[in-house]
Structure 1
């Protein structure tokens, strides 16, 4: 098949619209390959003129004419195997992906969100206020215990500012919790698990933490769930730590393993910031939820999160 027949074959392919897009790609690709792989041939150099008679310089011979420039798309150049080229064309038509490179535009959305309610994915996010949070199905996690890798035996400043690993065990910080719940309309969800793999939850329809001037006093109402209302016992209680004990019985420093929590005159019924342990070494030690497992059966994990709609 000569170059003319090949041209008409490609033209017919394009006109009949059998492979409209592929044909355009094939023509472009084959031409590109031919231009890249072939070398333009120069014309033959003309003969040098003969020397003149001795004593008189002979006339300089004329330079030969420059050869014609080859076609930009050298389909059918001398020495090219037309059968091989046709096989390449057939392959490209059968597999258009061989000539088409799809570029997927990757757009990195801003990591800053107004709240976890507006987040479309779980995990670590940055709020527009600059606070780093962990979002869980639209809820903002502010406490999580998993395996005891982070110590919760901390003083007042640590509990006010926050500590731990945001994607593992951590406490978000009372200042941040106050700022995000102060407007009201927030709900609380607490998820618990024991060392046998049993799980329970406690939900509260209203949740708020007061300012540092009011000792981060807890406001929590409207229990529902299957763990029992142990956290409601701490309603209206100030927050206490071992170095700033705001309850009358010195619970944070004397009885509860130096944990920071909303302690009452009889300490707490829900004590989720206690020492991480499998076996209790005393009352109020360990991660405790009284109405589910009692005071002397520590839990393996806990997660506290709020949502302000």
Structure 2
């Protein structure tokens, strides 16, 4: 608009005539109402090219914490969610088993009762002798509660053995090794241990195996003895080397908790299975395990 006005002024200057027509044109064009308000818009032109983006603005202050939303409706589990929960339940059962008979793997496991055991092909090992690294000359309460390393030499504890065999239907397997590499086993079709009130009395029967004979059966119906709780009339728990704890009945024919030694120092000194190796030949290792189906 300013360019149009300048051209009109220039034309009037050239003509040198300040005629009524020139003043009328200038008045009409320069009238503020025409320029600023009443002049009609022309047709819309084409969209021009986009200009370059401006510089980013300054970062604003962080907003305040919004109000807590209302709780939504609970969603129903779909097939995927149900499958996940089912799998987690199976994992929980796998990690917490009621006995080694329900376990599909070997090694240390924790039962649903909280007791840590060592499983082996469905059997629960409750006694293991290997190398003499654990002293078996223990007190009554130690034999009741258990001691040693679950993956090494250990005794599971009379209280635990009693609880495991309380329901009946339990079998016993004993495995023996001498220092020459020979192995023998003794299997029993029935095995249980009574309560502390009844001195953890032993019940064992139904022998089979290749260990020469039923040496452990000699202790059937015998109470347990330790050097500080001697329930045997011959006081064998404290008289034999190592102060071993065992089911003593005028001593024992199978004495598997005796002191570990390579050479026996006397009659029934060491780990003994009388009907396989006699009373003066000590064994290298033993393993006692039960299974209740």
- In the superposition, the TM-score normalised over structure 2's length comes to 0.69
Matched with 2:238 is: 253
Matched with 2:200 is: 216
Describe the SS at the equivalent of 2:91: coil
Matched with 1:243 is: 228
Matched with 2:111 is: 127
Q: Is the CA contact 2:224–2:245 (under 8 Å) kept in the aligned structure 1?
A: yes
CA distance in 1, matches of 2:194, 2:51: 92
Describe the SS at the equivalent of 1:109: helix
Describe the SS at the equivalent of 2:110: strand
CA distance in 2, matches of 1:122, 1:283: 37
Gaps of 5+ in 2: 1-47, 53-86
Matched with 1:232 is: 217
Deviation (angstroms), 1:65: 4.0
Query: Does 1:163 pair with 2:151?
Result: no
Deviation (angstroms), 1:285: 1.1
Describe the SS at the equivalent of 1:117: helix
Deviation (angstroms), 1:255: 2.2
CA distance in 1, matches of 2:164, 2:276: 29
CA distance in 1, matches of 2:246, 2:197: 16
Matched with 2:189 is: 205
Q: 1:109 aligns with which of 63, 81, 91?
A: 91
Gaps of 5+ in 1: 1-62, 68-105
Q: 1:188 aligns with which of 165, 172, 178?
A: 172
Deviates further, 110-119 or 171-180: 110-119
Q: 1:256 to 1:268 in 2, by over 3 A?
A: farther
Q: Where do residues 169-184 of structure 1 align in structure 2 (5 Å cutoff)?
A: 169-184=153-168
Matched with 1:283 is: 267
Q: 1:286 to 1:128 in 2, by over 3 A?
A: same
- In the superposition, the TM-score normalised over structure 1's length comes to 0.65
- C-alpha root-mean-square deviation of aligned residues, in Å? 1.8
Moved over 6 A (4+): none
Deviation (angstroms), 1:64: 6.6
CA distance in 2, matches of 1:65, 1:150: 87
Bigger Rg, structure 1 or 2: 2
Describe the SS at the equivalent of 1:249: coil
Deviation (angstroms), 1:66: 6.1
Q: Is the CA contact 2:145–2:159 (under 8 Å) kept in the aligned structure 1?
A: yes
Per-residue CA deviations over 1:77-99 (Å, capped at 9, x if unaligned) read xxxxxxxxxxxxxxxxxxxxxxx
Deviation (angstroms), 1:284: 1.4
The number of residue pairs the alignment matches comes to 209
CA distance in 2, matches of 1:114, 1:156: 27
Deviation (angstroms), 1:273: 0.3
Q: Is the CA contact 2:136–2:242 (under 8 Å) kept in the aligned structure 1?
A: no
Q: Is the CA contact 1:257–1:284 (under 8 Å) kept in the aligned structure 2?
A: no
Query: Does 1:152 pair with 2:136?
Result: yes
CA distance in 2, matches of 1:139, 1:190: 11
CA distance in 2, matches of 1:166, 1:292: 28
Per-residue CA deviations over 1:89-148 (Å, capped at 9, x if unaligned) read xxxxxxxxxxxxxxxxx9893321011000000001111111111001000000000011
